Amino acid sequence: SGSYYSVMITGPDGSDQIGDLGDYTVACNDVRSQSGYAAFLQYIASEGVNLPTQWLLSGSHRASLELVASGKADVAALDAVSWALARRHDLNAQRVKVIGHTAQTPGLPYITSLENRSNADEMRQAISEAMAALGDTDRDAMLLTGFVIRRPDEYDVIGDGWKQLSERGWQNLPGDIG
């Protein structure tokens, strides 16, 4: 479908509902992250949940998973691909549970350069052919199922979400990041 979502995780003894977490600490990969930060804030806003009192800036989805699994953080949002890979390769995935999913958004674009805009069709064709040339084992290892061409306006939903967070005063909360 060319879309992805984030998975909300908490420790094994955490509540099954994010609204029941109370005074909680969030592990966040980066405050510029759609999947680990903005999607989390949009999710809690839609659930009527208060802003977290503590943020731990982890640097990666895998590190956020580790913080939740170790009990140093109460919740984190991981993009679905990182979560699927963690379930395959990281024992910490067995030490947490999923308590929710964000809405789907368009998958991340392949960004090349402004100079190569005239070659966009050739690049799309080359990417599609390269994916098709991979064996089933390699495609499965990278979780590749295909290549979807999206119009630029399909990504407006992401910008709109950031705008809504900004209007709430919920965007770029660096004072809350510890």
Q: What is the pLDDT of residues 57-111, one digit of tens each?
A: 999 999 999 999 999 999 999 999 999 999 999 999 999 999 999 988 888 777 6
The three-class DSSP label of residue 106 is strand
d(C-alpha 17, C-alpha 10), whole Å: 9
CA 77 to chain centre: 6
pLDDT digits (tens, 9 = 90+) for 161-170: 878 877 777 6
More confident residue, 1 or 28: 28
d(C-alpha 112, C-alpha 54), whole Å: 36
pLDDT computed for residue 174 by the predictor: 44
